[in-house]
Amino acid sequence: MGDIKTLASEKVFGMFGILAALLASLVAVFGFYLSWKKQHGGVFYLSLVLLAGSVITWSVSEGWEFGVVYALCTPALLVWPFIGVNQVSLSAPASVPLPRAVAYSNRLMFQHLGHTAVVLLLLLVTSVLASLAICLHLPIAVDGQLGACTVLLPLLWGGLVYHYFAVNNKIKALISYIVVAGLSLVWLIFLPAF
């Protein structure tokens, strides 16, 4: 009988926690809306505190794995009514520019295909090797190393892609990426992980 009572109280607390988290998320989104509408910084910071409280409440009621997901997704869904309230329809512009003709050249096509191959192949391989070389030598458990690698990989890949398109000398950049990939591969092969 005591087990049923405990289970019932956990269900009531779980449901209360979900409703409290949902209410905190709604009030936080409404506070963000008011702070934007009235240009009031105090309401913004209060809404940030409410959003943090919502994250904590979601995590306590649903566990941190699902709680963080719900805490991040709920405001994204709750914001749409506030967007709908401020929706305005603009009149058609007086002069609509004509679309440009499609410029096709073999040189441009091969240049774009080359950039695509560099980003999707070379930079991906470089970022995977570098992420593994860095994370597998961290003095933490294997699951923590792989978790760190999961976080580092897209950041490193995005940084390399940004760097590739930002530099003027692409050949020099490609050589540096190949060198980094080679050093990472040597690091992974010859230096033992923790």
- The pLDDT tens digits of the residues spanning 113-162 come to 999 999 999 999 999 999 999 998 888 888 888 888 988 999 999 999 99
- Whole-prediction pTM value? 0.52
Sole residue written with tokens 């941190």: 64
Map residue 135 onto helix, strand or coil.
helix
Residue 83 pLDDT: 81
- State the average pLDDT over residues 63-86: 83
Q: What is the mean pLDDT of the chain?
A: 86
Distance CA 65, CA 76 (A): 18
Residue ranges of E strands in the chain: none
Sole residue written with tokens 């049923």: 4
pLDDT tens digits, residue range 84-121? Answer: 888 888 888 888 888 888 878 899 999 999 999 999 99
Q: Cβ atoms within 10 A of the Cβ of 64, count?
A: 13
Q: Are 132 and 188 in contact (CB under 8 A)?
A: yes
Is the model's pLDDT at 5 over the cut of 50?
Answer: no
Enter the tokens of residue 107. 């040189």
